[in-house]
Structure 1
Amino acid sequence: MLLRSATVRDLDHVTARVFDSATRNSGARLDAYRIDDTFYIDIDLPGVDPASIDVTVDRKVLTVRAERRRPEQEGLRMLVAERPTGPITRQVFLSETLDTDRLEARYDNGVLTLSIPVVEQAKPRKIAVAV
């Protein structure tokens, strides 16, 4: 049996956090999909105070920032702390075909849902063929 010292255990935790954070996307996983003429992005933000969520669009780059904090209670002593805390940032590059001026955001059950209409010029249209 291999006995692990506190130093080795700490190194394991740091290594896991570094490599896990690269694949975790700052704790904000997302789904993107389109229904009819609206593009949707669902971003998982469990445990985030809705007041801390900041959504901006700058030159078709959508940026979502939020902060997940650990509850502060007197006498609280954490025994296991695996859930990530701190600032969360996620960026998405948007297509020119989306009308970001009409972007809407809704936070429900730990999921931020962004809905962005497709611009009128980008919608498919039928072309009559002359004979």
Structure 2
Amino acid sequence: MATRIDPFQDLDRLFGQLASAERAAATMPIDLYRAGDHYVLDVDLPGADPGTIDVNVEDRTLTIRAQRTAGPDKDVQWLAKERPVGTYARQLTVSKALALDAITANYADGVLTLNIPVAQEAKARRIEVQHGGDSSQITSGGNERS
């Protein structure tokens, strides 16, 4: 029985692995939702060194950076190397309705969680309507009725 040899099969597989690793390194998946009077941003940073995580706000741009270091470099023969390494970075433009000076961050189990409160001036509020017992009221035209 003859074995079919494709000299480009391994090269194609290797190229596919490299391309998918580069795509994965370039992305930083997020979930964003509102819970009451704050937003929660969950950012996947698997394997990131907690000491390299940097969250920065400048003007209205929220920047998240983290780094994942490579495995052993010396005296190993890689059989598969699909996990991306390097610097993760993501920038988001945020609204003026957020209290950017009150953001809190927590990193656990490979997920960075940011709690971003809504600014006090942007929160919904109830406005009390004053009314008097007097039968004299000003109408929209400015004339008084009795």
Q: TM-score range with shorter-chain normalisation?
A: 0.7 to 0.9
* Unaligned residue ranges in structure 2 (runs of 5+): 132-146
Q: Whole-Å Cα distance in 1 between the matches of residues 51 and 21 of structure 2?
A: 27
1:3 aligns with 2:31: no
TM-score, with structure 1 as normaliser: 0.82
Distance 1:121 1:2, change over 3 A: farther
RMSD between superposed Cα atoms in Å: 2.3
Aligned residue number for residue 116 of structure 2 = 116
Aligned residue number for residue 86 of structure 1 = 86
Q: Whole-Å Cα distance in 1 between the matches of residues 106 and 13 of structure 2?
A: 41
Q: Whole-Å Cα distance in 1 between the matches of residues 74 and 20 of structure 2?
A: 29
What's the CA shift for 1:42?
0.4
Q: Whole-Å Cα distance in 2 between the matches of residues 54 and 93 of structure 1?
A: 16
Match for 2:110: what amino acid? G
User: Percent of counterpart pairs with the same letter?
Assistant: 36
Superposition pairs for residues 1-131 of structure 1, below 5 Å?
Answer: 3-5=6-8, 6-13=10-17, 16=20, 21=23, 24=24, 26-72=26-72, 74-129=74-129
Question: Larger deviation: 8-17 or 109-118?
Answer: 8-17
TM-score, with structure 2 as normaliser: 0.75
Q: Quick check: 1:65–1:89 contact (8 Å CA) kept in 2?
A: yes
What's the CA shift for 1:82?
1.2
| Aligned partner of residue 81 in structure 2, secondary structure | coil
| Larger RCO, structures 1/2 (Cα 8 Å, 6+ apart) | 1
**Which protein is bigger by CA-based radius of gyration?**
2
Show CA shifts across 1:40-88 (max 9, x none). Answer: 1100000000001111001111000111112226432211111111111
Q: Whole-Å Cα distance in 2 between the matches of residues 81 and 11 of structure 1?
A: 12
Q: Whole-Å Cα distance in 1 between the matches of residues 25 and 129 of structure 2?
A: 48
Distance 1:87 1:40, change over 3 A: same
* Unaligned residue ranges in structure 1 (runs of 5+): none
Q: Quick check: 2:53–2:65 contact (8 Å CA) kept in 1?
A: yes
